[in-house]
Amino acid sequence: MDIAALSMSLAQTNLMSQISTAVMGKALDVMKGDGAETARLLESVDTAPAQAPVPAQPYLGAKLDVYA
């Protein structure tokens, strides 16, 4: 392999590495934004326990026959 081809190969590898790093940086920025948005949404959720609804027919579903 001659010096010119080796130099071009090295330059191409260096460029691909720089591009890969830039793309990963952009992806990291997007993930940080998504994480911040998710955290904001989770903070806005009401964490009070929900009260169970009163069943219309409370006698239904009280017993379960598991031997049938």
Residues 6+ apart with CB under 8 A from 55: 61
The pLDDT, as a whole number, for residue 1 is: 64
The pLDDT, as a whole number, for residue 46 is: 74
Whose structure tokens read 């191409």?
12
The pLDDT, as a whole number, for residue 43 is: 87
Q: What is the pTM of this model?
A: 0.54
Terminus-to-terminus CA distance in the chain, angstroms?
80
Kindly report, residue by residue over 7-55, the tens digit of the pLDDT: 999 999 999 999 999 999 999 999 999 999 999 988 888 777 777 777 7
The conformation of residue 38, written as its DSSP 8-state character, comes to H
Count of CA atoms in the C-beta half-sphere (13 A) of 48 = 4
Amino acid at 19: I
